[in-house]
Chain A
Amino acid sequence: MPQASALSVPHLLGIKDLTAEDIRLILHTAATFKEVINRPIKKVPSLRDLTVANLFFEDSTRTRVSFELAEKRLSADIVNFSASSSSVKKGETLLDTVHNILSMKVDMIVMRHPAPGAPHFLAGRIPASIINAGDGTHEHPTQALLDAYSMQEQLGNLEGKKIAIFGDILHSRVALSNILCLRKLGAQVRVCGPPTLIPKYISSLGVEVSFNVEQSLRWCDIANILRIQLERQDIRYFPSLREYALYFGINKAMLDRIDKRIVIMHPGPINRGVEVTSEVADSEHSIILQQVENGVAVRMAVLYLLAGNR
C-alpha cells in the first residue's frame, strides 16, 4: 500500500481529526522506532533543536513517563510542568500559563488536562504544536494509537476484527479514542458495561452495545478492559465496587469457559480485583506490559511526524 509521508494535521488533538492514512502512517513509523528503542544505543537525533513542554494539569505516571522517554530518545529538550507544583493552584488561567511557558520559546506542547476540549481551546490561540495526552472525558489519542499498534502486533490487519471495550464508557477518553481509531481501521467494536456507564447515543459512533460481559467475551478477539474511574464520578453510577467486581469484573473462570484464546488489554492503572483479577491481568493472555513498551514507540512516531510538519 502506498504510504503517505506526512500527517494531514498540525496538532494531535484527537483521533477524530486523523484520517485512516494518518493512523497507518503513525503505526508504520512506530514500528521503526520500536526497532530503535530495542537497540543498545536507543537514542536518535531527530528532535535535537526542539523544545517540548510536558504540561500535566492532571496526575499521570505512565503517560507522562512514556512521553518523556519518547522525547529523550528523540533528543529533544524537555520542560516538565505539573499542576500540583505550579501556579495553577494560585488561580492562573490555562491561557496565561501556556503563554508564559511559550515566552520561554517552546516548540511543542504535550498536554493533559481535566477539561474536554482544552487542547482545542489552546490550538486556536498559540503557535506551538499540541499533542493531547488526555483531555478529561473526551480523547486520549496516543493511548488509542498504541492500543491499535499492540492489537496489530497480535492480529495483523484489524479490518473486520472484533474488539470489545469493557467498563466505564461514559467517563472514558480511552474508550472514545479507541472507538474512533478502531472504526477508522475497519474493526468491529462493541462496548460493554453497566447501562448507567454507557452513553445513550454511543451507537451513533458505529459500535454495538452489550450489558453482558461473558457473552461479549465470547464475541470478541480482543478484550480491552478499562479502569473504573472513581475519580470522575461525582454521582454514583453503580452501587459499589464489590458489586461491580462481581457482575462486571473479568476473571479466570469466565475466560476458562470460553473455548477460544482472546487477548487481554488494559490501559492502566489497573484496579486489581475490580475490573479484572490479577490472575487474568498477569496471565499469558495479557499484553498489558507490551502496551506500555509500544507506548514509547508510538509517541516517538507522533512527535517525529508532527515535528516534520512544523
Chain B
Amino acid sequence: MDLLLRQVVVIDPASPAHQAAMDIHIQQGRIAAMAPSLAVDGAQVLEANGAWCCPGLLDFGVQSGDPGHEYREDLHSLSEAALAGGFTTLITFPNTNPPVHSKSEVAYLMRRQSELPVDIYPLGALSVECKGKDIAELMDMRAAGAIAFGDGLLPVQHAGLMMRGLQYVMAFDGIVVNHPTDQTLAAGGQLHEGHISAWLGMRGIPALAEELMVERDLRLLEYTGSRLHLVGLSAAGAVERVRQAKKAGLRVTASVAVMNLLFTDEALAGFDALYKVLPPLRSDDDREALIEGLLDGTIDFIFSNHVPLDTEVKDREFPYAAFGALGLQTALPALYTHLDERFSPTQIVHWLACRPREVFGLPVPRIAVEEPADLTVFDPRTEWTFQLADIRSKSANSPFVGQRMQGRVLGVIKGHRYRIFDRL
C-alpha cells in the first residue's frame, strides 16, 4: 500500500502535529512521512481538503450477532459498519448465543480477527451464560484475550456475584463492567419514567433504578478496592454519584451512549420504537448532566450503543419492540451534527478514540512518523442525509435514517488495511 492523505488537519493531542494541516504519506502500514506539503510519486491520493485526521475510533460495548444471531449482524457486516463510522477497534459485548462466557468463545472471536478489517477485543461474561448467578472462568478468558468482564446488556442484579467478580479480577488488576439498572424497579418499564410515560400510559423506568444500582456498585467497589466501569449512564443522579466517587479516589470509570447525549424521552411521544433503547432516553436535565459529566471528566468516554435488531423484533407494536438501535455508522457524524457547539474536535476524538483505550489499557495510536497507521479521516464540512441504502449492518434499526448529517467519514486506515469511502 502507498497512500497520500493531502491536507488533513491532525486531531491528536499526543502528536507533534496536533491541529496542524499536513500531508501524510502512509506506506506498508506505517506513517512514512508527514509534512505541510509532500510530493510522492505513484501513491494513491486522498484530497482531504482540511478533513480531520485522528487516531482510529474505538467503540465499546458493541453488540454482535455472531454467534447465534448472524441474520442481525455477522462479524463482516459489523466490521463494515464500524469502518463506515470511522471505528478501527471494537470491544464487543458477550450477549451472543452462546454467550462469550468461556475461553472457547473468546478464542473463536480472536481467531476470526485475521479475516476482519478491524480489531476486536471481546468482553467476557462475568457470570456463566450471563445468567447473573455463578462467576464465569475469568482468568481463562483473560488468557484467551478477553479485555474485561461483565454481562453486557444484562445488568448484574446479584450483589454477591458483583462483589466476588470485583474481588476476583484483582488477581490480575482486571476491570468489571456493569450496566447499572435495578431490574425490580425497572420491571415492565418501556421508557423513562416521567411526564411522557404518564402521557403514554406506560410504566416507566425510573432514574432511581439506575441511581440505586450505581450506589450499590460504588459501595462494593469501595469495599473491595477493585476496578469498575459503569457503562451507559443516563440519569443526572448517577453522574453525580460517580463524580463524588472519583473525588473520593475510587477506581471507577463511566461511559455514555451517543443517543442519550442527543435525545430525550420526548422522541418517544409518538410511539416511535426506533428511539426505544437502553439505557432509556431521559429528561433534558439528565441529558444536560451527561454533557456536563463528560466535560468535567466524570464520564470518561462515549460509545455508540450499537444493538442490531431484525425487523421481526423491532418493527412491532411499541411494547413488543425490542430495546436497541444501530449506532456504529452514525456515532461520529451525529455527535458532530448535534453537539459541535458544545464539544471541540479534540474533545470528541478524546472520548471516541483515546480515553476508552486508556481505560481498558490499550495503546492509543499516535499520528507521527514511523508509527503504525491507525487513523480515521472525517470531513466535518460534508452535508448529507443518512439513508437506508447507506446502512452496512444486516439490520436497519437506526433512528437516523432520513436525517441530515453534518460531517462524513472519508476513510479509515488500519495497518495494511484501509478503506476510502469518497473522493479518491
Chain A residues within 8 Å of B, Cβ to Cβ: 16, 93-94, 113, 115-118, 120-121, 136-139, 170, 172-173, 176, 199-202, 204-205, 234-235
**Minimum CB distance partner of B196 in chain A:** A201
B271 within 8 A of A: yes
User: Given A138-B202, A170-B203, A235-B187, are A115 and B197 neighbors across the interface (CB < 8 Å)?
Assistant: no
B143 within 8 A of A: no
Q: Which of A94, A118, A139 contacts B201 (CB 8 A)?
A: A139
Contact A138 B201 (CB under 8 A): yes
Contact B318 A115 (CB under 8 A): yes
Interface CB pairs A-B, < 8 A, 7: A136-B201, A199-B197, A200-B198, A201-B194, A201-B197, A201-B204, A202-B198
Interface set, chain B 284-313, CB cutoff 8 A to A: 312
Q: Report the separation of the CA atoms of residues A205 and B74 in the bound assembly, to the nearest whole angstrom.
A: 45
User: Given A116-B271, A117-B317, are A204 and B198 neighbors across the interface (CB < 8 Å)?
Assistant: yes
Q: Which of B193, B200, B204 contacts A138 (CB 8 A)?
A: B200
Contact B195 A204 (CB under 8 A): yes
Contact A117 B316 (CB under 8 A): no
Q: Give the B interface residue count (CB, 8 A).
A: 23
B319 within 8 A of A: yes
Chain B residues within 8 Å of A, Cβ to Cβ: 187-188, 190, 193-195, 197-204, 206, 270-271, 312, 316-320
Tell me how far the C-beta of A8 lies from the nearest C-beta in chain B, rounded to whole angstroms. 17
10 interchain residue pairs of minimum CB distance: A117-B271, A115-B317, A204-B195, A117-B318, A138-B201, A201-B198, A118-B317, A137-B201, A176-B201, A199-B198
User: Given A121-B317, A234-B188, A235-B188, are A116 and B200 neighbors across the interface (CB < 8 Å)?
Assistant: yes
Contact B202 A201 (CB under 8 A): no
Contact A94 B316 (CB under 8 A): yes
Q: Report the separation of the CA atoms of residues A36 and B319 in the bound assembly, to the nearest whole angstrom.
A: 40
Q: Report the separation of the CA atoms of residues A234 and B200 in the bound assembly, to the nearest whole angstrom.
A: 19
Among A121, A173, A204, which residue has the most Cβ atoms of chain B within 10 A?
A121
| Beyond A94-B316, A117-B319, 10 additional pairs, beta carbon < 8 A | A93-B316, A113-B317, A116-B202, A117-B200, A138-B202, A176-B201, A204-B194, A204-B195, A234-B187, A235-B187
**Minimum CB distance partner of A140 in chain B:** B201
Tell me how far the C-beta of A154 lies from the nearest C-beta in chain B, rounded to whole angstroms. 27
Contact B319 A201 (CB under 8 A): no
User: Given A120-B270, A235-B188, are A115 and B319 neighbors across the interface (CB < 8 Å)?
Assistant: yes
Q: Report the separation of the CA atoms of residues A93 and B203 in the bound assembly, to the nearest whole angstrom.
A: 24
Q: Which of A93, A120, A137, A205 contacts B202 (CB 8 A)?
A: A137
Q: Report the separation of the CA atoms of residues A94 and B321 in the bound assembly, to the nearest whole angstrom.
A: 12
**Minimum CB distance partner of B208 in chain A:** A200
Q: Report the separation of the CA atoms of residues A118 and B202 in the bound assembly, to the nearest whole angstrom.
A: 13
Contact B317 A94 (CB under 8 A): yes
Residues of B within 8 A of A200 (CB): 193, 198, 204, 206
Tell me how far the C-beta of B413 lies from the nearest C-beta in chain A, rounded to whole angstroms. 42
User: Given A16-B199, A115-B317, A117-B317, are A201 and B187 neighbors across the interface (CB < 8 Å)?
Assistant: no
Residues of A within 8 A of B206 (CB): 200
